[in-house]
Amino acid sequence: MKTLILAGGLGTRLRPLSCTRPKLLFPIANRPIIDLILERLGACGVKEVVLAVNFLADVLEQTCGKSKYGMQLHYSRDKLLDSERTYSPEKALGTGGPVKQAEELLGRDAPFFVLNGDILTDADYLEILNAHKNNNSIATIALRRVADPSRYGTVEITKENRIRKFVEKPIRGAPSNLINAGVYVFEPDIFNFIPTGKRCSIEKDVFPNLATEGLLFGHEITDLWVDIGKPADLIEANRLWLEAHEEAARHFVDTKVDRNVEIKSKVSIGNGVAIGCGSVIGPNVSLGKSVHVGEGVHIKDSIVFPSTYISDLATIEGAIIGEFVRLGKKARIRRGCLIGDNVKIKSHVSLSQNVKVCPSKIISKSVPSSECIM
């Protein structure tokens, strides 16, 4: 069984951290998201994976290489045909175009999986495949029940799981609270529904047509599922993953955690992390490798990337902190803040909620309202 992972989005809502690293390399419990996805696919018997890449393709390719978890990895870069029908390599193909572009790699002899690359799930892919085999259809999509369907693809479905209507991000009234979970099984005939070399949205240009023709089915999943689009989603994904995976919350090697540190479960502590006396870490914290945490620091609901230095008495809550950041004494970082790599935040500086700081900035004064510091 082959799998295509859509991995070429710009990750705009995770800027500035997504300017230099693709979303798939963001860490959850100290492991890049791509590793968590690949490991699960491998366990479900997948042998070959095509990564449909575009933005920051080289970074992903260099990091992941040609094989992982016993699977062969291929990279398919978006190529858009312009009006002269020559390739414009810088352009994005959307969520459908990359599937058509990978036709040769995926082949026409068997069904295959397609995954949105920004979904973290414990779904059993084989169960979705089995459901697909029972439907006489071109596509089966995993569906998940959510409280607010408006930011997702939504469906109207029959008792037999045939999708009657597919509406991407409905402006008014979703047909149900079952949403497209971004995990699909496609028959090779799907290639007949996608144009070559053109930008195409699988959700807007393909699924509604398949639904009208009665060729689209759904299969509800109830497992852990989260879309990592926004900073708060990434933090929530970290929490859910730590809760669901006992081994993810283990402490790694060479850590120096003072006896008087309070760890509030669940927390992931990377290799070589040091934490000083009187600090309170957790719940829901991941500290990347070689992070230094001083004394009397409070961190909760946050992800700290590797090699960051947090001075005494600093507070971080609900934030994502990049690599090689330096937080001064008593610095305060609030919910929704995103701190770029190599930023320096001076002592006593306090950031209000949702402040974004671009890489390598030096912040010497408190920031009282949410803004992006460029």
> Which region among 76-84, 224-232, 269-277, 327-335 touches Mg ion (by CB under 5 A)?
224-232
Distance CA 51, CA 74 (A): 6
Please say which residue, 28 or 333, places its beta carbon nearer to Mg ion: 28
Distance CA 144, CA 218 (A): 10
Peptide bond into 98 cis (omega under 30): no
- Cβ of residue 40: shortest distance to ligand GDD, in angstroms? 16
Q: Which does 35 bind (CB under 5 to 8 A by kind): Mg ion, ligand GDD, none?
A: none
Q: Of 78, 118, 187, 203, which lies in the binding site for Mg ion, with binding defined by CB under 5 A?
A: 118
Give the three-class secondary structure for 84: coil
Please say which residue, 42 or 170, places its beta carbon nearer to ligand GDD: 170
> Which region among 165-173, 223-231, 319-327, 331-339 touches Mg ion (by CB under 5 A)?
223-231
**How far is residue 40 CA from its own chain's centroid?**
15
Q: Of 96, 218, 229, 231, which lies in the binding site for Mg ion, with binding defined by CB under 5 A?
A: 229
Encoded tokens for 276: 């000083």
Among all chains, which residue has been given the structure tokens 């300017």? 19
Contact 351, 333 (CB under 8 A): yes
List, in sequence order, every residue forming a beta bridge with 73; answer none if it has no partner: 49
Query: Which residues are near ligand GDD by CB under 6 A?
Result: 6-9, 52-54, 78, 92-95, 98, 116-119, 152-153, 168, 179-180, 182, 203, 227, 229
Please say which residue, 227 or 301, places its beta carbon nearer to ligand GDD: 227
> Which region among 48-56, 117-125, 288-296, 310-318 touches Mg ion (by CB under 5 A)?
117-125
Please say which residue, 116 or 161, places its beta carbon nearer to Mg ion: 116
Q: Which does 117 bind (CB under 5 to 8 A by kind): Mg ion, ligand GDD, none?
A: ligand GDD
- Cβ of residue 132: shortest distance to ligand GDD, in angstroms? 17
Scanning the chain, the segments in alpha helix (DSSP H) are 33-43, 57-64, 97-101, 103-106, 125-134, 207-212, 231-244
- Cβ of residue 229: shortest distance to Mg ion, in angstroms? 4
The 8 Å CB, 24+ separation contacts for 148-153 are 149/174, 149/176, 149/177, 149/178, 149/179, 150/174, 152/179, 152/180, 152/227, 153/179, 153/180, 153/203, 153/207
Please say which residue, 97 or 294, places its beta carbon nearer to Mg ion: 97
List, in sequence order, every residue forming a beta bridge with 225; answer none if it has no partner: 121
Residue numbers annotated as active site? 169
Residues making contact with Mg ion (CB under 5 A): 118, 227, 229
